Amino acid sequence: MTHGFRKQLLYFMVALVWLFALLWPLLDINPDGTLGFWRSFAAWMPIAVAGSIVFVLYQIRQAGWLGAPARMLETGRQALGARLSLIPAWVWFVLIAAVFFAIPQFTDRRVHDILIQVLVYVCLGLGLNIVIGLCGLLDLGFIAFYGVGAYTYALLSLHYGISFWLALPVAAFLAMIAGCIIGYPTLRMRGDYLAIVTLGFGEIVRIILNNWMSLTNGPNGVMAKPLTVPLPMFEGGFRIEEVALRSLGDLYYVAFFLAIITIIAVNRLNFSRIGRAWEAIREDETAAELMGVNTFAFKLMAYAMGAVFGGLAGAFFAARMGFVAPESFTFLESALVLSIVVLGGMGSIPGIILGAFAIIALPEVFREFQMYRMLAFGGAMTFMMLVRPAGLIPAKRMGKRGEEEE
């Protein structure tokens, strides 16, 4: 018996009863007014059993009965870690990139679809990471830039037949302009006030998209041309032809390419003078200003750079779906991207990539449990924040830059 065992047991029991009290009205009060019991019990039972096993294991560990095997595992882990840390970072990068490059060859449409979504959210997460993770500005309306990028491509391709690759920089540029327009009046505010105002601006963009019938066709949405790539053709003389990419496997490579570009760009920004200034602003805005950082200009730049990657992701999203409508750019999407950044680890690039997988891919994998998907999702988020408040892979950079210039 460990110290406080009775109290923990009591809490555990109360939690189980509480869970049942939560499930029963959801599952066993039928629409026709009859009451049941077994459906909620059937849902509750596996959770209770799993919880009990975890509880018992935890108690055993607390009692110290796992001391010896745990120590062995720990030394093994450290030895492995020391070995692995000898391999330079770029080897890992190439290895992971190669795996991602090869994936579509072995997987089916469904996997392609999920992976494309994950990659789009990687771009979004990394864009928002600049604003939140590096510069420390809480932005609840980030999805607006995604929307601007998506509509830019859709409208340009629809009215002017401009190809994806030409529209891409335009989408990024317009998103950047939108970032400056939104940033200019709002960045004078700090903290909570800024969060609320960005939330408002995010909604404004969505509502404009919804109501500006003559430009955006309102809630009916806009059709976008499929993505094309210029390929050289040799049949009957040499020429370059725009070939539409229709299979998801091909689109995957475009998303992959955009994600790589984003990762490289954000990584370079992170370790630049600008990145340092952003971090100083995040740590202490007044002190940063006293050290000669033009805080307003740098905050605006963070906003604009974040918007650029949002815009790129948006343009790809429009090309991939072939259709955009305002309902894709709700506050819920902003919250999703925000949770990717927070769950993954603010300021940490690998963390955010992992976060995007966790938040986008896992719910898809667990589609069978449809009904409990969001419940499990919420539970997992709460659990993660309790166990790893700094994120899945916390930003690790202490003492890096000051020394590396040697």
Q: List residues binding other proteins (CB under 8 A).
A: 273, 276-277, 279-280, 283-284, 286-295, 398-403, 405
For residue 213, give both structure tokens. Answer: 């019938």
Minimum distance between the CB of residue 132 and other proteins, rounded to whole angstroms? 14
Minimum distance between the CB of residue 291 and other proteins, rounded to whole angstroms? 5
Query: How many CB atoms neighbour CB 262 within 10 A?
Result: 22
Q: State the Cα–Cα distance between residues 226 and 379, nearest whole angstrom.
A: 38
At 126, the amino acid letter reads L
At 90, the amino acid letter reads W
Q: What is the DSSP letter of 398?
A: T
- Of 216, 246, 211, residue with least CA distance to 150: 216
Question: Toward other proteins, which CB reaches closer, 139 or 285?
Answer: 285
Question: Toward other proteins, which CB reaches closer, 60 or 291?
Answer: 291
Minimum distance between the CB of residue 287 and other proteins, rounded to whole angstroms? 4
Question: Toward other proteins, which CB reaches closer, 107 or 295?
Answer: 295
For residue 223, give both structure tokens. Answer: 């059709």
Minimum distance between the CB of residue 85 and other proteins, rounded to whole angstroms? 17
**242: enclosing H helix or E strand:** strand 239-244
Question: Toward other proteins, which CB reaches closer, 220 or 272?
Answer: 272
Burial class (CB in 10 A: 0-12, 13-18, 19+), 179: buried
Minimum distance between the CB of residue 234 and other proteins, rounded to whole angstroms? 52
Minimum distance between the CB of residue 161 and other proteins, rounded to whole angstroms? 46
For residue 298, give both structure tokens. Answer: 């740098």
- Of 87, 105, 95, 127, residue with least CA distance to 261: 127
Question: Toward other proteins, which CB reaches closer, 3 or 400?
Answer: 400
Minimum distance between the CB of residue 401 and other proteins, rounded to whole angstroms? 6
C-alpha Rg value of the chain to the nearest Å? 25
Minimum distance between the CB of residue 289 and other proteins, rounded to whole angstroms? 5
- Of 201, 198, 202, 220, residue with least CA distance to 210: 220
At 191, the amino acid letter reads G
Burial class (CB in 10 A: 0-12, 13-18, 19+), 384: middle
Question: Toward other proteins, which CB reaches closer, 86 or 398?
Answer: 398
Question: Toward other proteins, which CB reaches closer, 61 or 396?
Answer: 396
Question: Toward other proteins, which CB reaches closer, 46 or 292?
Answer: 292
Q: What are the respective helix, strand and coil percentages of the chain, to the nearest 5? A: 75, 5, 20
